[in-house]
Amino acid sequence: MKQNNANFITTALICVALLPAATSYALPDAQLRDLSNRLFGPLPDTMPGSGQDTAALASLGQQLFFEKGLSANETQSCNTCHDLTGSKSGTEPLSVSQGALGLTGTRNSLTVWNAGFQFLQFWDGRADSLEEQAKSPLLAHHEMALSSGLEAERVLRERGYTPAFEAAFPNQGDPVTFDNAARALAAFQRTLITADRFDRWQKGDDNALSAKEKRGWNVLYQQVVTPAIMAR
């Protein structure tokens, strides 16, 4: 009897665990992809505004992104709070960021990956472009804490960036400006587009997801996404 009870409980548990899989039917790849693309669509290959960006501009922006000289005590670069080294997430592990002078902010740093696809920047959307956004951390006292845009320009000249600015902004008399630094940082960040397997699958590569992952997406789609859409 005891054994029978145990068997019954085990069978019931297995049934509950299998319930989602059992009640969803497996859609063929093409159909699942079509639904998925209607819901998300793959990420575009380029970011809005990148049409005017050149390799020289993005390369300058990349150097500036890692330039610690652009903080009050030369301890911090954009990369300190938006770590891109290796395959990092473009953010940092702290719950709220800490600036060059040790002051803590009030917010968690957002990732810079895909940020240029957002129509507004920051948690509260207070900047409407990557160009406008980039100036803010350079001057914020709880971030990189430079005293002014002029100080940024002085540092950049001192650190030998003039030729790189000249290459990035040909035909400008004196291209080492705060505005141009922000423009270059934005151009670099417009290259930060993630390429993950889900996107590859959405673009048509059947093998980009494993059979198990497709089964999971099937279940999620039919049991979570579809009911949520129907309930609206």
Residues of the shown chain interacting with ligand HEC in the complex, contacts defined by CB under 6 A: 76, 78, 80-82, 97, 99, 105, 107, 109-110, 112, 115, 118, 121-123, 130, 133-134, 137-138, 143-144, 185, 189
Task: Supply the minimum distance, in Å, between the C-beta of residue 201 and ligand HEC.
Answer: 25
Nearest to 57 by CA among 151, 194, 191: 191
Q: For the purposes of burial, counting CB atoms within 10 Å of the CB of 160, is it exposed (0-12), middle (13-18) or buried (19 or more)?
A: exposed
Q: Which is nearer to ligand HEC, 184 or 209 (CB)?
A: 184
Task: Supply the minimum distance, in Å, between the C-beta of residue 156 and ligand HEC.
Answer: 12
Q: Which is nearer to ligand HEC, 169 or 178 (CB)?
A: 178
Between vectors from CA 92 to CA 102 and to CA 127, what angle results, nearest 5°? 85
Nearest to 178 by CA among 194, 161, 203: 161
Task: Supply the minimum distance, in Å, between the C-beta of residue 174 and ligand HEC.
Answer: 21
Q: Which is nearer to ligand HEC, 181 or 209 (CB)?
A: 181
Contact (Cβ atoms closer than 8 angstroms) between residue 122 and residue 115: no
Task: Supply the minimum distance, in Å, between the C-beta of residue 199 and ligand HEC.
Answer: 18
Task: Supply the minimum distance, in Å, between the C-beta of residue 95 and ligand HEC.
Answer: 10
Nearest to 145 by CA among 81, 64, 70: 70
Q: Which is nearer to ligand HEC, 27 or 101 (CB)?
A: 101
Contact (Cβ atoms closer than 8 angstroms) between residue 211 and residue 25: no
